[in-house]
Amino acid sequence: MTDDLQLLLQQLADETRSVRATNLAGLSDLPRSEAAEAFAALAALSPRRRGEVVTVMAEQAEANVHLHFHAILRECLTDVEASVRKIAIDGLWEDERPTLIAPMARLLAEDPASEVRAAAAISLGRFVLQGVLGEISDSYAERAEQAMRAAWVRPGETIEVRRRVLEGLAYTDEAGVDELIESAYYDEDDLMRQSAVFAMGRTADRRWARAILTELGSIDAAMRYEAAGAAGELGLTSAVKPLIRLLDDADATVREAAALALGKIGGREAKQALQACLKASDRALADAATDALDELTFNSEDSEAPLLEYEPSPKRGGGDEDEDLDDAYDPDFDFDAEEDSEDDTDDAEWAENDEDDEDDVDELFGEDEEDDDFEDEVDWRGRR
């Protein structure tokens, strides 16, 4: 351990000293061996102090792109305090090396704290997306999906964990994911239903247009928020009018989500509505409209043309382009009837442990074995 690192750890051990007033750059880009030593020193601090250190590391890394606390944050995944483990997971958001899959899979499978398991599920969802985009090997992506599938069917698993699993699995085009989303959409739990609508937006599948349009008129502000986001993700031009109405929603987060969605969809009506918001007394809405107009202009040579020309067909529940979508709700709506039809690392020590990390996941879930319980519920064969 270097003298500078020892001095920094001594400063952090002084709990009368503000962590925010301390430059944590000495914890950045640590070799794995030094990261382990540093974590051992931090482990002697009070839980509150450790949590503060990890929080400030995450904040400083976000503010300074030259700071990378990945090594020390990975060590913090083993902290005895659940709150510290969760903050460490959140702080590793920009660590896209697939060697992170193994520790996240272990946390999702074994951590006693549901908030940590939920955070691990969110993190694993990034690797599912990377697999879909071809940015990591199929074997890595499959391991992330396997961990999430196991959590979905785990007896007694909490709603919070299962809903985060659903949101991550929505990226894939695996057989059975649509059924999971549909089942979640009709769940009795409001949070699960909200995650189902969020997941619809991640699928890039416009079979969900009717449900999303319906939820734009939900009495639940949280559901309207999720529906607005999903409409934007899918580029639903039929959602422009209801989204414009949501710019006057009683809930501030819904107004902002509607503005951002209009920026993703584009078109003349969307542009005019967003321009009007620039003069709003609601500064958060005005800022969201500014961001939305920037995205609209960046993504389209003609900012008044929809970014994605799409209208849901009558078969999938769409109506005429000028249909008043306030009446889109259909309590008898049936999805089945509607839809018939690797890794170069910055630290060589991490690279040397890739194979060990794969073995860790194999120990958790079994190498090349089928998950019989999950197969009973959903057919996950035929991957890509």
Does residue 335 carry a pLDDT above 90?
no
For domain 238-331, the CATH architecture is Alpha Horseshoe (1.25)
Average pLDDT, the chain: 82
> Which two tokens mark 274?
């967003």
Q: State yes or no: pLDDT of 314 exceeds 50.
A: no
Kindly state the average pLDDT of the residues 175-196: 95
Are the CB atoms for 101 and 140 separated by under 8 Å? Answer: yes
* pLDDT computed for residue 359 by the predictor: 53
Q: Which residues neighbour 136 within 8 Å (Cβ) at sequence distance 6 or greater?
A: 98, 127, 130, 342, 343
- State yes or no: pLDDT of 368 exceeds 90: no
Average pLDDT over residues 75-93: 94
- The structural domains of the chain, with segments of one domain joined by +, span 1-94, 96-204, 238-331
Query: Considering the entire predicted model, what is its pTM?
Result: 0.76
- Residue 318: is its pLDDT beyond 60? no
At 381, is the pLDDT very low, low, confident or very high (cuts 50, 70, 90)? very low
Q: Is the pLDDT of residue 383 over 70?
A: no
Rounded Cα distance between 102 and 220, Å, is 38
Instruction: Look at residue 355 and tell me whether its pLDDT is greater than 70.
Output: no
For tokens 């449900």, the residue is 211
Of 177, 175, 165, nearest to 203 by C-alpha is 177
pLDDT of residue 177: 93
Kindly state the percentage of the chain with pLDDT values over 70. 78
What is residue 331's predicted lDDT score, i.e. its pLDDT?
40
**Cα–Cα distance for residue pair 8/191, rounded to 1 Å:** 43
